[in-house]
Amino acid sequence: MANFVVAHGAWSAGWAWKKMRPLMRAAGHDLWTPTYTGLGERAHLGHADVSLDTHIQDIVAVLEIEDLNDVILIGHSYGGMVATGVADRARARIKHLVYLDAFAPTDGQAVFDLVPPDIAAKMRAGAEASASGFGIPSSPMPSDTPAEDQAWAAPRRLPQPVKAFSTRLKLSAEPSVPRTYIYAKKIGIGDTFGPSCARARREGWRVYEIDSSHNPHITNPQALLAVLNEIAAQ
């Protein structure tokens, strides 16, 4: 049995991992899927100053209040930014760091440094034009997402606080725990996470490729379970 904690992606929340919960439980694992401030069921707490640091603290607080140790921390997509910060601030609690088709940042980087400048500009403009003035409108889900999953997930995908993408990650040092990268082979439009996967290969992390688009916890949960089981057994 392993303790898995998820740092979820942008526009998303803990709800997105509901298919994985019974699978992980049946495999004997605990799966914690907290939601960041300003998203999902915590959308009512959103404000213009919600940042990457806020989201890092959200996850650190769960680890501390629930007294979770020997944690396998999964960062999905934007959650790679969050998970890297958590692994720095809660070093004694983290056993393994898993990037699931995610940004794998270094000290001083923000999401807006890791996407093309035109995409960053479009996101900033979207936030400025939004009803709140700080929420980046949700991006579309991958085209191979089944219609029933689109119908379930799309209405729950809420605007992402823009400051979460502009905040630069602050690390005291690189995470010292083992790291694994899970790369979604069905990249869709643009290979946003290819550079992060390339970093993982270059630095000798264990790398898996999964037959899925960007959200395997939704579109191919069995394949993701198989990889997570293997990681837990290491």
Which are the catalytic amino acids? 77
**Smallest Cα–Cα separation from 24: which of 69, 58, 72?**
72
| Cα gap 183→93, rounded to integer Å | 25
CA quadruple 158, 4, 113, 166: dihedral, nearest 10: 50
| Cα gap 221→27, rounded to integer Å | 13
Across 120-155, b (16+ Cβ under 10 Å) vs e yields: beebeebbeeeeeebbbbbbebbeebeeebeebbee
The phi, psi pair for 191, rounded to 5°, reads -105, 70
Q: In Å, what is the CA distance from 210 to each residue of 24, 199, 220?
A: 18, 17, 9
| Cα gap 80→111, rounded to integer Å | 10
Across 212-223, b (16+ Cβ under 10 Å) vs e yields: bbbbbbbbbbee
| Cα gap 60→56, rounded to integer Å | 6
